Amino acid sequence: GAVVSQHPSWVICKSGTSVKIECRSLDFQATTMFWYRQFPKQSLMLMATSNEGSKATYEQGVEKDKFLINHASLTLSTLTVTSAHPEDSSFYICSALPGQGTDTQYFGPGTRLTVL
Partner 1 sequence: AQKITQTQPGMFVQEKEAVTLDCTYDTSDPSYGLFWYKQPSSGEMIFLIYQGSYDQQNATEGRYSLNFQKARKSANLVISASQLGDSAMYFCAMSKAQGNLIFGKGTKLSVKP
Region of residue 38 (phi > 0: left; psi between -120 and 50: alpha; otherwise: beta): beta
Residue 97 CB, nearest approach to partner 1 (Å): 6
Q: What is the DSSP string of 67-92?
A: EEEEEEETTEEEEEE-S--GGG-EEE
- Residue 46 identity: L
Residues 21 to 80: which contact partner 1 by CB under 8 A? 32, 34, 42-44, 46, 49, 57
Q: Considering the rule CB under 8 A, would residue 95 count as an interface residue with partner 1?
A: yes
Q: Which residue ranges make up the site for partner 1 (CB under 8 A)? A: 32, 34, 42-44, 46, 49, 57, 91, 93, 95, 97, 103-110, 112
